[in-house]
Structure 1
């Protein structure tokens, strides 16, 4: 608690120029993060190039908390065995599952998916009357992953006070950190 009061006191005693510099530094960090995200979007051709596995339906291939990097290219074409991430129109949360059947008809690609740890295919998850997922449903194909690092994201979503505390801490540190004296 003492450190927090010291930080608050330091912030209050800053002159306007130093406050402006700290605010600019914070904005630079945020803009760098956004530019990095946009770079991944362009490089992967996907609107959501990075996702976190939220359930155990893909175990043992991917576990809850793994971070998946996606690409949305059709060269090479989607094949049985590829792990894809798709989002259905009426659901907010994307689904990470493996393609178990593919067929093409009139320049449209139709795919049936299933979680590795599930007993049945995903037709029960699809929208009513939908029997296949198509290109419009796809967010991307998994090309790389980092195990367990995304568990932090899950904790932040499961415990909102933790998320707000972390964001507040980062803003305070960003606004009050000192430039090295040299």
Structure 2
């Protein structure tokens, strides 16, 4: 079967293979442009995230896909579900705001968070800080779709699955004859 595909590619010529590679590059660049556009509209570096742990159960489950925005001026308030990233930690965390403090004569806001399924607040996760700054907040959860993120979790847990899927998709695009 693979030999037949190679023979077909030779028959169609280099021009066809380059056209397919260009189509693949266009699909990839379109996806990246859409992501960047959504990031600008939502005012956040990551407008879509997947929940990786059970710390927010029962409100939000592992594998849920979250849609985020970052309010430009409105302060975060008690009860908001946020995604934050602490300097030095590669993985963003999804937890609820349990306490806020606003600095007088400043736009700075100090935030304390906690997972709904956790017994204690997140101070232990803050790498020595007592509160988060608003600049640590990636976004505020606006909506979610349950279970859609399990594909991402599987690919993170099993990297070989991710590479196999990318190889199949890339090969399919390069080998298609249209």
Same fold (TM over 0.5): yes
What SS does structure 2 have at the residue aligned with 1:148? coil
Cα distance in structure 2, aligned partners of 1:52 and 1:103? 28
Shift of 1:74: 4.0
TM-score normalised by length of structure 1: 0.91
> Which residue matches 2:9?
11
Structure-2 residue corresponding to 1:126? 126
2:75–2:109 CA contact under 8 A, matched in 1: no
Once the two structures are overlaid, the 10-residue window that deviates more, 24-33 or 9-18, is: 9-18
**Residues 16-49 of structure 1: CA distance to partner in whole angstroms, max 9, x if unpaired?**
1211111111011101110110111111110111
Change (3 A) 1:22 1:61: same
| Matched positions, count | 176
Q: 1:155 to 1:78 in 2, by over 3 A?
A: same
Aligned pair in 2 of structure 1 residues 90, 177: CA closer, same or farther (>3 Å)? same
By how many angstroms is 1:11 displaced?
3.4
Quickly say closer, same or farther: Cα 1:10–1:65, change in 2 above 3 A: farther
Q: Displacement of 1:72 after TM fit?
A: 1.1
TM-score, normalised to structure 2, is: 0.93
Alignment RMSD (CA, Å): 1.4
Distance 1:154 1:22 in 2: 30
The yes-or-no answer on 1:114 pairing with 2:126 is no
1:66 aligns with 2:64: yes
State the alpha-carbon separation in 1 of the partners of residues 134 and 174 from structure 2. Answer: 44
Task: Give the drift of 1:5.
Answer: 5.0
Gaps of 5+ in 2: none
CA 1:14–1:95 in 2, change beyond 3 Å: closer, same or farther? same
- Asked if the contact 2:81/2:141 (under 8 Å) is kept, the reply is yes
- 1:14 is displaced (CA, Å) by 2.9
Deviation at 1:9, TM superposition (A): 4.2
Report the Cα distance in structure 2 between the residues aligned to 1:11 and 1:145, rounded to whole angstroms: 44
Q: Could you tell me whether the CA contact under 8 Å between 2:43 and 2:72 is conserved in 1?
A: no
Q: Which runs of 5+ in 1 are unaligned?
A: none
